[in-house]
Chain A
């Protein structure tokens, strides 16, 4: 929605972010040169298979990388403020206050021994100069807003007294408690019933739109991305291989991996015997091949793919990290 507005400063700007794990057997690069922006009110979908680095990117932004992981390069900017080097206490003030996070499993995200209202009020009190009574009033308002029935009585209930979907609503209320600029939602619907998934996504989208909150939506559900996101980033083996407006990436993916991923979405009404499938598996971190990491599984690989990692270059409406397009760009330039 705000993609066209180039004058506006992005809420989140990630520049060449790299992350590595120092292990006994050497240094493993888990994230490589990740760059993207999220504009105000924008929903950026991040897709990719397990281990591609989606969740790690979200965790790195909020500064919750555990040892032996460490940022080895790049910058993270939040509304013009650099946040990747501000230390433990600086980050703590940003977490929850300016960046909210939603985790995959609502059943384990809430402390089982504390009433949900108290957990929300705790977050509010941590970040806002309000009294206990005001914090509780705010907790009640949030519970109402996320659609908890009879919030006046449920505010004093414990997490185990809620269903999975209701708990994820509470988690959303918690993430929004201090009115953050950005929500990082890490597979928010994966652990839920299919029938509840749509409700949660709709709710998240509505709440963020009314507040102008940006969302980084990490998922491997392409259906959710297609319905919810404004732009989408496709990740593979620690790199963004394609990023662009969601309609373009879905209709005309430029990177062969993205093409394979989109081919795996079943279309309603179309009679397909089998969905396309990308053969092979993503390489492990300690066995990423030289050149393009996708080359061993790619059906269109050319000689150059083994030599060097392709740069992320604009191709039409999106940007892709693939040598095929460099060739195309060169060819069309020479013909023209």
Chain B
């Protein structure tokens, strides 16, 4: 188990370094930072001095090492457009995105597993058919359309919920949360539904398909032949076997929920990282873009590590170390 965790960690670091290299090379393609910083009127002398001071005359491996060192400390330089430190910008925007993504994830996995299990157990029931048909809409409609549709119904027509922004937020240290005020909670509902709906339907369909597959397995037949109660067979024996493949897909999906909330954030004018990134792309704000790239990579690496560790909890077959330890 320990060796496995170390190996996963090493792989994660490798991924991060590779992405860092791509983020680093972005600076080389998008103009000369010296020109950007000094403007047109600077003398040749000034440029050379600044180039030397920024270390841009050093060979690229040294520059890359410096970039890595800074990135490891969360420093990505100064935004070209806003003139503020990128790390501060991210810190400011992170709570909005994380709050949105985590709530969507809970909504999508919780309800997704529940509905999936229900649809698998009552395969031919009317409600199951309704669920399955509705889920087809979730899988096939693009996220922005769902968002706009929800805004039209709940914000424009019914006027129940706000259509944009986070509402009032409460600051807890550097973290800002919308969960503690009523307008903040109301503002969360539509974006969470929009962001989570696709994942919800995907997870639900996946759980249903996997569960139907598991229910055909020999050990389920054997459990029936032993007289185990149906509920126990479905919720204990079958569900746990279902969850192993589901965790993989759900994990990757949750990574993408956090990383690519861009569309939802744009539709709802959500002041999160996605919106920050979209603005950065429009102005070729390379430090922000490279920081966002690193952030996305880090999220995926962390999610994958968590999924790998979850396997160990769920599947005893992976804990092969035990066998040796017990000496049989």
Please tell me if A6 contacts chain B, counting CB pairs below 8 Å: no
Please tell me if A110 contacts chain B, counting CB pairs below 8 Å: yes
CA distance A64 to B315 in the complex (A): 28
Identify the stretch in A121-129, A210-218, A265-273, A320-328 within 8 Å (CB) of chain B at 4 or more residues.
Answer: A121-129
- Say how far B238's CB is from chain A's closest CB, in angstroms: 9
Near B by CB (< 8 A), chain A positions 31-53 give none
Check B317–A112 contact: CB distance below 8 A: yes
Please tell me if B41 contacts chain A, counting CB pairs below 8 Å: no
Check B223–A111 contact: CB distance below 8 A: yes
Q: Which residues of B contact A112 (CB under 8 A)?
A: 219, 241, 315-317
Q: Given A103-B218, A153-B328, A161-B328: A113 and B316 within 8 A (CB)?
A: yes
Please tell me if A77 contacts chain B, counting CB pairs below 8 Å: no
Query: How many A residues, CB 8 Å from partner?
Result: 36
Name the residue in B225, B230, B232, B316 with the highest tally of chain A Cβ atoms < 10 Å from its Cβ.
B225
Near B by CB (< 8 A), chain A positions 138-196 give 150, 153-154, 157-158, 160-161, 171, 174-175, 177-178
Q: Which residues of A contact B314 (CB under 8 A)?
A: 113
Task: Map CB proximity to B onto A61-104 as digits: 1 under 8 Å, 0 otherwise.
Answer: 01010000000000000000000000000001111110011010
In the complex, which of the residues A62, A108, A113, A157 contacts B326, with contact meaning CB atoms closer than 8 Å?
A157
Check A101–B222 contact: CB distance below 8 A: yes
Q: Which residues of A contact B224 (CB under 8 A)?
A: 64, 95
Q: Which residues of A contact B221 (CB under 8 A)?
A: 64, 103
Q: Which residues of A contact B218 (CB under 8 A)?
A: 103, 105, 108-109
- Say how far A129's CB is from chain B's closest CB, in angstroms: 15
Q: Which residues of B contact A174 (CB under 8 A)?
A: 222, 226
Task: Map CB proximity to A onto B157-176 as digits: 1 under 8 Å, 0 otherwise.
Answer: 00000000000000000000
Q: Which residues of A contact B229 (CB under 8 A)?
A: 92, 126
Q: Which residues of A contact B241 (CB under 8 A)?
A: 111-113
Instruction: Name the residue on A nearest B222 (C-beta).
Output: A109
CA distance A113 to B238 in the complex (A): 10
Check B226–A158 contact: CB distance below 8 A: no
CA distance A193 to B37 in the complex (A): 77
Q: Given A122-B228, A127-B227: A103 and B317 within 8 A (CB)?
A: no
Please tell me if B91 contacts chain A, counting CB pairs below 8 Å: no
Near A by CB (< 8 A), chain B positions 128-164 give none
Q: Which residues of B contact A92 (CB under 8 A)?
A: 227, 229-230
- Say how far B287's CB is from chain A's closest CB, in angstroms: 47
Check B228–A154 contact: CB distance below 8 A: no
CA distance A100 to B328 in the complex (A): 29
Task: Map CB proximity to A onto B203-237 as digits: 1 under 8 Å, 0 otherwise.
Answer: 00000000000000111011111111110100001
Q: Given A64-B224, A64-B225, A95-B227: A160 and B328 within 8 A (CB)?
A: no
In the complex, which of the residues A94, A103, A178 contacts B222, with contact meaning CB atoms closer than 8 Å?
A103
Q: Which residues of A contact B28 (CB under 8 A)?
A: none
Check B222–A97 contact: CB distance below 8 A: no
Please tell me if B240 contacts chain A, counting CB pairs below 8 Å: yes
Interface bracket on B: 20 to 34
CA distance A174 to B225 in the complex (A): 10
- Say how far B21's CB is from chain A's closest CB, in angstroms: 41
Instruction: Name the residue on A nearest B322 (C-beta).
Output: A161
In the complex, which of the residues A62, A96, A109, A177 contacts B219, with contact meaning CB atoms closer than 8 Å?
A109
Please tell me if B323 contacts chain A, counting CB pairs below 8 Å: yes
Check B323–A161 contact: CB distance below 8 A: yes
In the complex, which of the residues A93, A105, A153 contacts B227, with contact meaning CB atoms closer than 8 Å?
A93
CA distance A93 to B228 in the complex (A): 9
Q: Given A64-B221, A111-B241: A160 and B317 within 8 A (CB)?
A: yes
- Say how far B217's CB is from chain A's closest CB, in angstroms: 7
In the complex, which of the residues A62, A108, A126, A157 contacts B228, with contact meaning CB atoms closer than 8 Å?
A126
Instruction: Name the residue on B nearest A94 (C-beta).
Output: B227
Instruction: Name the residue on B nearest A109 (C-beta).
Output: B222
Instruction: Name the residue on A nearest B228 (C-beta).
Output: A126
Check A96–B326 contact: CB distance below 8 A: no
Q: Which residues of A contact B226 (CB under 8 A)?
A: 95-96, 100-101, 123, 126, 174-175, 177
Name the residue in B223, B241, B323 with the highest tally of chain A Cβ atoms < 10 Å from its Cβ.
B223
CA distance A103 to B241 in the complex (A): 20
- Say how far B39's CB is from chain A's closest CB, in angstroms: 65
Check B225–A95 contact: CB distance below 8 A: yes
Q: Which residues of A contact B222 (CB under 8 A)?
A: 101, 103, 109-110, 171, 174
CA distance A155 to B162 in the complex (A): 58
Task: Map CB proximity to A onto B288-328 as digits: 1 under 8 Å, 0 otherwise.
Answer: 00000000000000000000000000111100001100101
Instruction: Name the residue on A nearest B237 (C-beta).
Output: A111
Q: Given A108-B218, A160-B316: A97 and B323 within 8 A (CB)?
A: no
- Say how far A110's CB is from chain B's closest CB, in angstroms: 6
Instruction: Name the residue on B nearest A153 (C-beta).
Output: B326
Q: Which residues of B contact A100 (CB under 8 A)?
A: 225-226
CA distance A110 to B217 in the complex (A): 10
Instruction: Known A-B contacts: A94-B227, A95-B227, A174-B226. Give 10 more (CB < 8 A).
Output: A62-B225, A92-B227, A95-B224, A95-B226, A105-B218, A122-B228, A126-B226, A153-B328, A157-B326, A160-B317
Interface residues of chain A, those whose CB is within 8 Å of chain B, are 62, 64, 92-97, 100-101, 103, 105, 108-115, 122-123, 126-127, 150, 153-154, 157-158, 160-161, 171, 174-175, 177-178
User: Can you list 21 pairs linking A and B with CB atoms under 8 Å apart?
Assistant: A92-B229, A95-B226, A96-B228, A97-B227, A103-B218, A108-B217, A109-B222, A111-B223, A111-B237, A111-B241, A112-B241, A113-B240, A114-B237, A123-B228, A126-B227, A126-B232, A150-B328, A153-B328, A154-B328, A157-B326, A178-B227
**Top 6 A-B pairs ranked by shortest CB distance?**
A96-B227, A108-B218, A96-B226, A101-B225, A95-B227, A158-B316
Interface residues of chain B, those whose CB is within 8 Å of chain A, are 217-219, 221-230, 232, 237, 240-241, 314-317, 322-323, 326, 328
